[in-house]
Amino acid sequence: MSSSSSLSLWSEALRWIPGGVNSPVRAFRAVGGHPFFVKSAQGATLTTVEEKKLIDYVGTWGPAILGHAPAVVVEAVREAAGCGMSFGTPHALEVEMAQTICRMVLSVEKVRMVNSGTEATMSCIRLARGATGRDRIIKFEGCYHGHVDSLLVKAGSGALTFGYPDSAGVPAALAALTMTLPFNDLAAVEQAFDKYGSEIAAIIVEPIPGNAGLYLPEPGFLEGLRELCAAHGALLIFDEVMTGFRLAPGGFQERCGIKPDLTALGKVIGGGLPVGAFGGRAEIMDQLAPTGPVYQAGTLSGNPLALAAGLAQLGELERIDGWKKLEELGALFEQGVREIIKNKPFTFHRMGSMFCLFFHEGPIRNLADAKKCRMEEFGKFFQGCLERGVFFAPSQFEAGFISLAHTPELIGRTAEVVAEILKTI
């Protein structure tokens, strides 16, 4: 299109796309106004169609760990594209990516590629049910696992109240197989197993929930989930679509020392292209077709462009010890923010290169706490930062991401903007 205005593009988008966006959070409903449209992205900077430069802490919601359009990834995609966009048959990059994931994520002995994080979690749930012969699933409030029917479920009014659909089109009978419990409440999980242990196929959890802001597991919580699953013959599924290869080479499970039975992956392993993967113990993964009875398939799974991009990105992270540098940048960012909010009614959480500033004095240990945030203030904060060239996620309930392209100078500039805006709220 020839239009150079975000407003005119937004008007056209509303005409042709439901809600004007292809993923709901992009619509800015939580912060007011209309979204800007991007012309290009390079390093840690987005350029809008109006040629405005923005320091970006969304990073396409996690994949841009090296920054936008890193030369090593762009070149890998260019080379792969010259050999063909998709094959529909096996190719060498599939084997290389599988070997790489299994080498880096110690709980994964076999892995299958898919096209999105949603596909990965959906496949984990089906595989867990097929491998155990059970139907019930436990998830946690505030943990988002994609738009999977079984997982689009709200919490009930009690620890053992079965959920109800969080979306039209999800059958109540299917939602009834999912129990939604408070994160960090191990007693509620124990109660669920006491009552339904022989019917529970799996627990699925974001070990670091990043879709309700960012809150952290309390000591013993994840360890308790591991022990309960082992004791009752259920599977433990870590959704590391967001944290995998970002918080450590082997994901958060490397940092916490807990081995899940299955792991859902995505984002970083696609280098910015659509991708997902799931893997785990060999005897479980071998339940998948064609070797087992659990069917899963995908025409574009293992797409050569996505795998070339992901392998290039992972290779570069290993070459430069990117995780150490990300930790240093994250600590620098945290130091600046904590100085600004000292003695003020805010809570700041960080894990590696992921972070969230909550507009609530805390503590924030679960979704109920996060929902106490002052949403109107957050909206003013978001818009003020955006006007001054800093782009945070347009929702209080999303994590932010730091990339290796975020220099100390950019982080310092960000701190100046944050301090300036918070003084006005």
Active site residues: 144, 239, 267
Contact 114, 270 (CB under 8 A): no
C-alpha to C-alpha distance for 117 and 271, rounded to whole angstroms: 14
Query: Quick check: helix, strand or coil at residue 68?
Result: strand
Q: 358-370: b or e for each residue (b if 16 or more CB lie within 10 Å)?
A: bbbebebbbbebb
> What single-letter DSSP state applies at residue 309?
H
> What single-letter DSSP state applies at residue 32?
-
Q: 213-251: b or e for each residue (b if 16 or more CB lie within 10 Å)?
A: bbbbbeeebbebbbebbeebebbbbbbbbbbbbbbbbbb
Give the residue among 191, 188, 207, 203 at the shortest CA–CA distance from 233.
Answer: 203
Contact 138, 109 (CB under 8 A): no
Query: Between the CA of residue 28 and those of 7, 10, 50, 252, 293, what are the distances in Å?
Result: 13, 12, 18, 30, 43
C-alpha to C-alpha distance for 119 and 137, rounded to whole angstroms: 17
Residue 186 parent element (H or E): helix 186-196
Contact 203, 237 (CB under 8 A): yes
Contact 242, 120 (CB under 8 A): no
* Peptide bond just before 35 cis, omega within 30 deg: no
C-alpha to C-alpha distance for 8 and 385, rounded to whole angstroms: 23
For the chain, give percent helix, strand, coil, nearest 5.
40, 15, 45
**Segments in 291-374 forming alpha helices (H):** 304-319, 322-341, 367-370
